[in-house]
Structure 1
Amino acid sequence: MSPALDHAQPVFRALADPTRCAIVKLLAEQDLRVGDIAAHFKMTRPAVAKHLAVLKSADVIRVSQAGRERINSLNPAALKAASDWLNYFDHFWDDRLAALKSAVEADA
């Protein structure tokens, strides 16, 4: 039985946008402030902040306070739910491809 999609669904929604995927990639390398993230994109800081809010609501990132600064960091545990769901299909394809191989070899 596959892992529950309901835990992974918010993560998939958050990662459906290429900008948010790029932000996740940046945060996989290091924790960053909003301004540091915005420097990588041709959009305003408020636009980046909206993307960060979506990622935060899906628990993909965490935001911590360091004095007056807000530091964004990746939450790998949230990505694991999506990864577990996708990994289920690895087994599905392994089984299907093994069956196809057997069928092709039987006909040969």
Structure 2
Amino acid sequence: MSIHGKVGRAGTTKIKRALGVQAALEWAFRVEQAQLELQPPKDGAEEGFGFGLEYVLIQQAALGCKVDGGQHKLGSYTHADAEVIAATVAGMPDSLGGIRMAICV
């Protein structure tokens, strides 16, 4: 879907349809490419050692390229319902698997 919306025939209306849980998850994460927004770890022990931004820039310059780090979904936006599904999955309680289950989904 573009920023301007779908182009349709005159007189057509949007039809809402029921989706199963699996179909809704596939739509949100595969089609709309919604992203999980997880909480950062509370202690620094779980954080790994990574490369600094300077190192990444030096390596890109050595290769003569620049990585496009733009939007997750180019030329479009993520549907609001897909964002709600992603937020719900990210907030799963520990009794249902918590963050680990959300990442697996």
Per the TM superposition, whether the score is higher than 0.5 is no
Instruction: Please state which structure has a larger fraction of its residues in helix.
Output: 1
TM-score, structure 1 as length reference: 0.26
Instruction: Please state which structure has a larger fraction of its residues in strand.
Output: 1
Which structure exhibits the higher relative contact order, with contacts defined as CA atoms closer than 8 Å and separated by 6 or more residues?
A: 2
